[in-house]
Amino acid sequence: MQGNILIIGASGQIGIELTLALRAKYGNESVIASDIRQPEDPIFEEGPFEILNVLDKDRLFEIVRKYDIKIIFQLAALLSATSEKNPAFAWELNMSGLFHTLDLAKEGHLHQVYWPSSIAAFGPNTPADSTPQYTIMEPTSVYGISKLAGERWCEYYHLKYGVDVRGLRYPGLIGYRSEPGGGTTDYAVDIFYHALETGHYTCFLQENTMLPMMMMEDAIRATVGIMEAASDRIKIRGSYNLAGISFTPAMLATEIRKHIPSFTIDYAPDFRQSLADSWPNSIDDSNARVDWGWSHEYDMERLVSTMIAEIKKKKIIKV
């Protein structure tokens, strides 16, 4: 990646970790963080930060000019559960942010654009096991519809205007630096805080709901990896399937009990169950592995032990 980088949505689940990773690699001053609100996390004091509402294209352009930005990671979005509560706004935010960024690239201001898609772009008619890259995609959630539409627009801008845009269909992402942010897969983040604080968790998904998941460190490596790959290795301009591990709430609870034997879980599925039921159980990401050399590192044991150790450090929780 050559040139200054702007991260939009830098205080979100992925944004915080990506800001840290890119600053460590490219220097604090080359990576400009932005979000709609001033974040409290002190990590944002280590480099430039700008307030940006991605719906405001003029303000976005002003920041691009001010810092001579050449690469944008457009991460601002409402996640699946939050989107269901406000479909019109979710559609506006998730799509306008992408268009504003793609248009700046089309007009020649940017070298590269990154935009995240999701397993939510699949739907209930998609084959659920080892879901292939090319398959039936009929998402039934507002968030999933916006992701599938966005993928198509990314490819369109690449084919018609030569925009160097890249994307990944993330599985559920599990990290310890940010709190859960309104996603269906976020039970698998929330559960650790409850396990450590109260020893009990009431899960909003059923015990046998299998979903594709990934440790945040792997997701960040994939994100930086696809953006650093030579352009001719990127054969898919919509979004690549990306896989780590798959598990159910019951499997996760069993693994947590290895560290906290008294941990208990019960189940009270809500509207998020139908979102989860419409998504795959596991993903075939062989295109990413072959095209630009992706491989994941975290298995479930390592994911759980890392989450517990890091949240304990952060919250100074005693169990």
∠ at Cα 44 (66, 182), nearest 5°? Answer: 105
Q: CB of residue 80 vs ligand SER: minimum separation in angstroms?
A: 3
Q: Starting from the edge strand earliest in sequence, which strands make up the sheet with 211-215, in order?
A: 172-174, 211-215, 245-247
Distance CA 56, CA 58 (A): 6
Q: Is 185 in the site for ligand SER (CB under 6 A)?
A: yes
Of 187, 256, 244, nearest in space to 216 by CA = 244
Which of 19, 34, 80, 223: binder of ligand SER (CB under 6 A)? Answer: 80
Q: Is 9 in the site for ligand SER (CB under 6 A)?
A: no
> Looking at 107-115, 178-186, 232-240, 246-254, which segment touches ligand SER (CB under 6 A)?
178-186
Beta partners for residue 169, in sequence order: 117, 241
Q: Is 170 in the site for ligand SER (CB under 6 A)?
A: yes
Q: CB of residue 133 vs ligand SER: minimum separation in angstroms?
A: 17
Query: Which H helix or E strand runs over 49?
Result: strand 49-51
- Is the CB of residue 135 less than 8 Å from the CB of residue 83? no
Residues assigned a catalytic role: 143
Which of 180, 183, 212, 238: binder of ligand SER (CB under 6 A)? Answer: 183
Other C-beta atoms closer than 10 Å to the C-beta of 114 total 24
> Looking at 41-49, 115-123, 198-206, 285-293, which segment touches ligand SER (CB under 6 A)?
115-123
Q: Is 280 in the site for ligand SER (CB under 6 A)?
A: no
- Is the CB of residue 203 less than 8 Å from the CB of residue 187? yes
Q: Is 118 in the site for ligand SER (CB under 6 A)?
A: yes
Q: CB of residue 170 vs ligand SER: minimum separation in angstroms?
A: 6
| Binding region for ligand SER (CB under 6 A) | 79-80, 118-120, 143, 170, 172, 183-185
